[in-house]
Chain A
């Protein structure tokens, strides 16, 4: 009984923290409409700041607390509102999600930059010197008592603010009808400002209260939010009392699992994954009108031409061969993963770009692909690569079933939960037997991965695997372009535009979602296997949630509707290593880059690839300049192979040459082009051209 009470007290204390953090999340969501994925990371930054002031610089605890909670946290909330989130409110679901995911990734990178993760940072609980007191048969420490008291005070304070004050009514009204708030003479901007200040303060309170009981680790603290997510979803993202109840359920479940889970090598991870499992369950059990949000601000999905895509695919292979023949082994290891990660990133295009299903678990599925290949393709058997794609596709189909009930930010949450279940539990399992087959995942360490055996040709060195990955990416690009041009691609876009209309027109939602999830998971699995072959030895950390965030962010920055996204993401992911190799101090700032650019997505929600495509189109059409580019390419390649020039000269010559030729093509085209004739006058003021039909079709498809 004593043990039960002890775990109960711990559970309620944890629940109190989850309740505080969860209520901050509900507050900002109900008053601004932005679901803040970075809410936990804000609390993490506050905990680190508190540690710095109280432990690092030795300020008295009350002063450190006052500085963090009354100055830094609200100030940070104000800055976020002013420079990031105010612009986010006018965007669609996916873009808003990207901005807060970018913040999450940026906060973790910042914390790791400022506070060296290899240094331990112990943080004492409050009143640690005082003896715990007894309440009936239960023993309670002062830190636990303070935590619970704070949660009760927060509950009462928030309820009073939202339901008993004019500011609270103004905050809630802003979500209902922002324009109408302005018409009443109230100020929606002020309401949002208050919400973000308070939300940040609540995250800070939660972060500081929980930090002494867990390690002060940027990623771990940021992801504690998963438990608070579960609590907030329990409250359907609007009810504070239900959020508190949800927090109690989650906190006590975690605590009692710690105490009463049987000692078994397969189960420790289950306790760690429990919040994510609960989040998953709550998302599915509490469908709500508001949980099935609908995005009205959709980005256009351009129609790729097969000829252009074929040229692009050939360029990918050429780039692979160029890199394989000119890079040393060490550089090949650094840059060669671009093609494998490109395949993973390309999996976002049909799933999120075409079908509008926001998933944050693509890198985790890639992890499944890597372990399946490690197990089945231990000797490089080619059939195993097909099996890897197939098994990954089956996993994708399994994810699609719950996805039927979710969309937008809730689907993103569900896939986040799935990723965390894999990270914390499944990927940490020792080998086990299923239907008579021995399955080893990461073997509680690392899994060895070999290259494929291509009809007797064993691909072993990094350069060979790089070319193989480039060929796979090129084929995947062709496949995705064909999908977009085909009936199924159009159906997916129809589904994205309106699920209801798709269903009422006779479309089968279940089938379409299962197919697109499977297809995209198959691609991600292939990417994972290729990534594993490149790394040769993979661990679960290579595929965890935090590792996957920058890939997702770069893919969105590129433009999720573009087939060029794979190469763009892969190249952008490894590209900064060029600068880091010259200036190693850039390592940390470069880690922030995806987050910073992700925050800027509000300016170009359609991504940067459409702009790049427009810039390079004249070169593709100008045969003379294209021939000159290919000539330059062949020349510098030959010079490099002959050891006449070094790698840097080749890199700079190609970059400068391509840029100049692109400009030349644009100038030549501008000189040749007749003055613009408005589209409605084509065939009247100037003759109808054969290509006009396709130009019109593309314009219509791009919306």
Chain B
């Protein structure tokens, strides 16, 4: 499968301290790739580089074969990259409706956005005039995820979707993610709550200290390896 999103030999640093040491990652259309690993492994930085929020020191970022290395987040968003950042990607002082209005800058009309968002998450229609910051954590994450649904992105980058949410809500949200992928969207998910995402992932990559140490299908071997990484290995 030709990758829709491709990171090649990406290196990135914070104040001279290298966080990514040459990361290679490919996500194809309709594929869900889970990026897993312990704290400080560089997962979020990888997503930030893919969305143009953090600059890469070297390496290339390709989208559908187009080299978009160095493009700013706005251009990448308009090219179809949608990052839902960690900790609720919503505008807390804007109403739900205004949050949805902010999803129209990539070309869709207000009506189209609201139609998709309200159909997929009916609770948002009930909360349309409510300020986003006053929604529950799950509702806020639904609103954030609505951007991934309503703006028709080519690539969806999700960072810690499950943070602070009840397992039932997490499962519900990941069902929506799988549905988004089935529509042909390339989905790259960073998640600490590995069990939730591995159920829907086609491929998983394990990051440790800024490098992808292992990747492959999310089978039992990978799960065991992950347990060893998080909890320590007896060997």
Point out residues on A near B: beta carbons under 8 Å: 166, 169-170, 172-173, 175-177, 179-187
Q: Does B184 contact A (CB under 8 A)?
A: no
In the complex, chain B residues whose CB is within 8 Å of the CB of A175: 93
**Contact, CB under 8 Å: A176 / B94:** yes
**Contact, CB under 8 Å: A176 / B77:** no
Q: Does B3 contact A (CB under 8 A)?
A: no
Q: Does B102 contact A (CB under 8 A)?
A: yes
- 6 smallest A-B Cβ distances: which pairs? A185-B105, A185-B77, A182-B73, A176-B91, A186-B105, A185-B106
Q: Does B42 contact A (CB under 8 A)?
A: no
Q: Does B78 contact A (CB under 8 A)?
A: yes
Q: Does B72 contact A (CB under 8 A)?
A: yes
Selected A-B contacts with CB under 8 Å, 22 pairs: A166-B110, A169-B98, A169-B101, A169-B102, A170-B102, A172-B93, A172-B94, A173-B94, A175-B93, A176-B94, A177-B92, A180-B90, A182-B53, A182-B72, A182-B77, A184-B102, A184-B103, A184-B151, A185-B78, A185-B106, A186-B74, A186-B105
User: Nearest residue in A to B84 (C-beta to C-beta)?
Assistant: A183
Interface size class on chain B is 20 to 34
In the complex, chain B residues whose CB is within 8 Å of the CB of A179: 53, 73, 85
- The listed residue with most A CB atoms (<10 A of its CB), out of B53, B78, B101, B104, is B101
A330 to B144, CA, bound (A): 70
User: Nearest residue in B to A166 (C-beta to C-beta)?
Assistant: B101
Point out residues on B near A: beta carbons under 8 Å: 51, 53, 72-74, 77-78, 82-83, 85, 89-94, 98, 101-106, 110, 147, 151
User: Nearest residue in A to B79 (C-beta to C-beta)?
Assistant: A185
| B63 to A: closest C-beta gap in Å | 14
A173 to B103, CA, bound (A): 11
A187 to B77, CA, bound (A): 11
Known: A172-B93, A173-B91, A176-B93. A186 touches B102 (CB 8 A): yes
Known: A180-B91, A183-B89. A172 touches B77 (CB 8 A): no
Cβ contact of B74, chosen from A172, A173, A177, A182, cutoff 8 A = A182
In the complex, chain B residues whose CB is within 8 Å of the CB of A172: 91, 93-94, 98
In the complex, chain A residues whose CB is within 8 Å of the CB of B77: 182-185
In the complex, chain B residues whose CB is within 8 Å of the CB of A180: 85, 89-91
User: Nearest residue in B to A180 (C-beta to C-beta)?
Assistant: B89
In the complex, chain B residues whose CB is within 8 Å of the CB of A182: 53, 72-74, 77
User: Nearest residue in B to A174 (C-beta to C-beta)?
Assistant: B91
In the complex, chain A residues whose CB is within 8 Å of the CB of B105: 166, 170, 184-186
In the complex, chain A residues whose CB is within 8 Å of the CB of B94: 169, 172-173, 176
A252 to B10, CA, bound (A): 64
User: Nearest residue in B to A290 (C-beta to C-beta)?
Assistant: B93
- The listed residue with most A CB atoms (<10 A of its CB), out of B82, B89, B105, B106, is B105
| A293 to B: closest C-beta gap in Å | 15
**Contact, CB under 8 Å: A187 / B74:** yes
In the complex, chain A residues whose CB is within 8 Å of the CB of B73: 179, 182-183
A176 to B95, CA, bound (A): 12
- The listed residue with most A CB atoms (<10 A of its CB), out of B77, B106, B147, is B77
A184 to B78, CA, bound (A): 8
A180 to B78, CA, bound (A): 14
A179 to B72, CA, bound (A): 11
A186 to B102, CA, bound (A): 7
Cβ contact of B53, chosen from A166, A183, A186, A187, cutoff 8 A = A183
- The listed residue with most B CB atoms (<10 A of its CB), out of A172, A175, A177, A185, is A185
A179 to B51, CA, bound (A): 11
In the complex, chain A residues whose CB is within 8 Å of the CB of B151: 184-185
User: Nearest residue in B to A182 (C-beta to C-beta)?
Assistant: B73
A187 to B105, CA, bound (A): 9
User: Nearest residue in A to B157 (C-beta to C-beta)?
Assistant: A183
| B76 to A: closest C-beta gap in Å | 8
In the complex, chain B residues whose CB is within 8 Å of the CB of A169: 94, 98, 101-102
| A698 to B: closest C-beta gap in Å | 21
| A241 to B: closest C-beta gap in Å | 16
In the complex, chain B residues whose CB is within 8 Å of the CB of A170: 102, 105
A218 to B224, CA, bound (A): 74
**Contact, CB under 8 Å: B91 / A183:** no
| A171 to B: closest C-beta gap in Å | 11
User: Nearest residue in A to B80 (C-beta to C-beta)?
Assistant: A185
**Contact, CB under 8 Å: B72 / A176:** no
In the complex, chain A residues whose CB is within 8 Å of the CB of B93: 172, 175-176
In the complex, chain A residues whose CB is within 8 Å of the CB of B82: 183
Known: A172-B93, A173-B91, A175-B93. A183 touches B98 (CB 8 A): no
In the complex, chain A residues whose CB is within 8 Å of the CB of B89: 180, 183
